[in-house]
Amino acid sequence: MENKNKVLLKVENAGISINDKSLVKGVSFEVKQGEIVTLIGPNGSGKSTTAKIALGIYKKIDGKVKTYTNKIGYVPQKISIDWTLPVRVSDFMTLTEELTQDQINIALNLTGVEHLKNKSLSNLSGGEFQRVLIARAISKQPELLVLDEPVQGVDFKGEIALYELIKKISDKMKCGILLISHDLHVVMSATDYVLCLNGHVCCSGTPHNVVKDSKYKELFGDRASNILSLYEHKHDHTHSQDGTIDQK
Amino acid sequence: MLDDFFIRALLAGIGIALITGPIGCFVIWRRLSFFAGTLAHSALLGVTMALVFELNIAFSVFLISAVLAIFLLQLQTKTNLPNDALLGLLAHSSLAIGLVIIGFLTTIRFDVMGLLFGDILAVSQSDLLLIWGGGVLILIILKIIWKPLFASTINYDLAKAEGMNPDRYNAIFTILMAAIIAISIKIVGLLLITGMLIIPAALARNISNNPIQMALLSTIGGLLSILIGLFSSLEFNTASGPSIITAALLLFLISLIKTKKFSELKK
């Protein structure tokens, strides 16, 4: 956490209640340049709600949210494009930003869907659509990326590649990322800071500290705390297809 | 054969089609067909108010439509009733209030049919000025707000998160719709303006694959409906407003055949 980079997003004691029912409350965190902050928690624990609070989507919230950039890319959890809207992938890419054809191609290429450029959005599969959503969010070279379950519906191999891409983007473009993910493996291996939500912040800190927290164990069970041990050892080698070890 | 009144009718119709083409696409995309109908119904109240207070009809209709739109937004925050129920409530009650007030106006002869179906053959030069002046203004505003409005139409959260201010553009669009109904009420009437907003856009959707193309085809469809409708009303001596909508419907049916063949070709 010794990160001297610029703060992009600051959430202070934020929450929201709808019809007097609190959805989430007392959430505080910061996202800095080049940092990945992850929200984890069971279904209905307020992860997406917290992301929307941070993005200023709700009109009335408790607490304070400040963003220090207006270059924001967002991958929402659920988005449905009605058939009545004739939108091709290339139209969708320029939804909130003017882009050159080159920029569109590069972004689509990064997420592996360049061939879908002229296809209609309503004809895409779930995984393809998710890749287009990510491509759109990164194509505008945002300073802050908010990714709500960005790889849902993507096949296993693609999932790993996309998470690697996200990590690479945060390193290379120096943007801050607020990530919501169910995949504890990914969260624990690639994240700088974790918030464990269940209507409020149960525990938070570096992945290393969070897995040791008793509240984390309560929420996710004992097996989840062993996850980190998988990543504790340093990978100094890779395996070839036949299983032999390639030294780096 | 082409008299002055017919030329004026053509010019008025063309003006209306140019506006309703692209705006109608947004009506369809945003699922506002019923909302457009509700605004049109409330126009009767607007016309009555104009008669009572001796206001300009277009101005009065615009005012009532705008008040109704704001009232609808208020209702939405007060109750969880679905939108179509609220719209139905507003449409029929504003129509009813309009008719009740007409009942009190014993001194004024009132042509309800003219209001329902319009009278495109009775267009005056000042009407033309209103349609073309207002129309150009509406289209310029639409051109300026196209991008943020389209983003808000695709997804509210996405537009809001990425700084497009969807609330503002949704409100501007509502005002544009009220303005269209205000300037076209006299020409196509309140029952038919909804048709001009929806049918050309619907037929365009069948044969287009991107938003700009759909807006263009919708405009072309609207223009063809006006031309076919007006000339056939002259030829067969039918009511001009309904003839225009009938022509639009025929074009819509043709667009259905086209899509079937088109998708077969793609296979």
- Compute CA distances A61 → A126, A190, B28, whole Å: 32, 30, 32
Q: Does residue A247 lie in a domain region?
A: no
pLDDT at B260: 56
Interface contact flag, B154 A95, Cβ < 8 Å: yes
A151: closest CA of chain B, how far (Å): 17
Report the C-alpha gap between A3 and B164 in whole angstroms: 31
Sheet of A7-18, strand order: A21-32, A7-18, A62-67
Q: Up-side HSE of residue A236: CA atoms within 13 Å toward CB? A: 2
Is A72 at the interface with chain B, CB within 8 A?
yes
Query: Count of CB contacts below 8 A, A vs B?
Result: 69
Query: Same structural domain for residues A154 and A227?
Result: yes
- DSSP string computed for B59-86: HHHHHHHHHHHHHHHHHHHH----HHHH
Query: Same structural domain for residues A101 and A199?
Result: no
- Searching chain A, which residue's CA lies closest to the CA of residue B155? A79
Query: Same structural domain for residues A62 and A162?
Result: yes
Interface contact flag, B157 A76, Cβ < 8 Å: yes
Overall average pLDDT of the B138-167 stretch: 93
Which among B164, B205, B208 has CB closest to A96? Answer: B164
Query: Same structural domain for residues A179 and A126?
Result: no
Query: Same structural domain for residues A51 and A91?
Result: no
pLDDT at A245: 59
Report the C-alpha gap between A79 and A59 in whole angstroms: 20
The token pair at B217 is: 């085809």
Range of lowest pLDDT (B88-92, B117-121, B206-210): B117-121
Is A74 at the interface with chain B, CB within 8 A?
yes
Is A56 at the interface with chain B, CB within 8 A?
yes
Residues in Cβ contact with B247 at an 8 Å cutoff, skipping those fewer than 6 apart: B224, B225, B226, B228, B229, B232
A55: closest CA of chain B, how far (Å): 5
Domain count, chain A: 2
pLDDT tens, position by position, B175-190 = 999 899 888 887 778 7
Per-residue pLDDT of chain A (248 residues; tens, 9 = 90+): 444 678 999 999 999 988 788 888 899 999 998 899 999 888 888 899 999 999 999 988 898 999 998 899 999 988 888 888 999 999 999 999 889 999 999 999 988 899 999 999 988 888 899 999 999 999 988 999 999 998 888 888 888 888 888 888 888 888 899 999 877 777 777 788 998 888 888 888 888 888 777 777 777 776 666 665 544 444 455 555 555 555 54
Is B157 at the interface with chain A, CB within 8 A?
yes
Query: Same structural domain for residues A22 and A46?
Result: yes
- ipTM (interface pTM): 0.82
Query: Same structural domain for residues A51 and A148?
Result: yes
pLDDT at B48: 84
The pTM assigned to this predicted structure is 0.85
Is A65 at the interface with chain B, CB within 8 A?
no
Interface contact flag, A120 B161, Cβ < 8 Å: no
Domain ranges of chain B: 4-191
pLDDT at B231: 93
The domain of A189 spans 1-71+142-231
Interface contact flag, A85 B161, Cβ < 8 Å: no
Overall average pLDDT of the B26-46 stretch: 87
Q: Up-side HSE of residue B27: CA atoms within 13 Å toward CB? A: 31
pLDDT at A242: 58
Identify the residue with better confidence: B108 or A127.
Answer: A127
Query: Same structural domain for residues A148 and A216?
Result: yes
Contacts of A76 in chain B (CB under 8 A): 155, 157-158, 161
Q: Does residue A107 lie in a domain region?
A: yes
pLDDT tens, position by position, B228-242 = 999 999 899 888 888
Interface contact flag, A84 B163, Cβ < 8 Å: no
CA B151 to chain centre: 22
Report the C-alpha gap between B12 and B125 in whole angstroms: 10
Residue type, B221: G
Interface contact flag, A87 B154, Cβ < 8 Å: yes
Range of lowest pLDDT (A185-189, B14-18, B89-93): A185-189
Overall average pLDDT of the B48-65 stretch: 86
Is A163 at the interface with chain B, CB within 8 A?
no
Q: How confident is the model at residue B47 (pLDDT cuts 50, 70, 90)?
A: confident
- Cβ atoms A120, A87 nearer than 8 A: yes
Interface contact flag, A87 B151, Cβ < 8 Å: no
Contacts of A85 in chain B (CB under 8 A): 29, 153-154, 211
Q: How confident is the model at residue B110 (pLDDT cuts 50, 70, 90)?
A: low
For the ranges B77-81, B223-227, B263-267, the one whose mean pLDDT is highest: B223-227
CA A120 to chain centre: 25
Is A133 at the interface with chain B, CB within 8 A?
no
Domain CATH code at residue A3: 3.40.50.300
Query: Same structural domain for residues A98 and A60?
Result: no
Q: Does residue A227 lie in a domain region?
A: yes
Which among A57, A86, A87 has CB closest to B161? Answer: A57
Query: Same structural domain for residues A150 and A218?
Result: yes
Domain boundary among A140, A169, A185: A140
Q: Does residue A6 lie in a domain region?
A: yes
Domain B4-191 belongs in CATH node 1.10.3470.10: yes
First vs last C-alpha separation in chain B: 49
pLDDT at A3: 47
Domain boundary among A140, A159, A184: A140
Query: Same structural domain for residues A65 and A147?
Result: yes
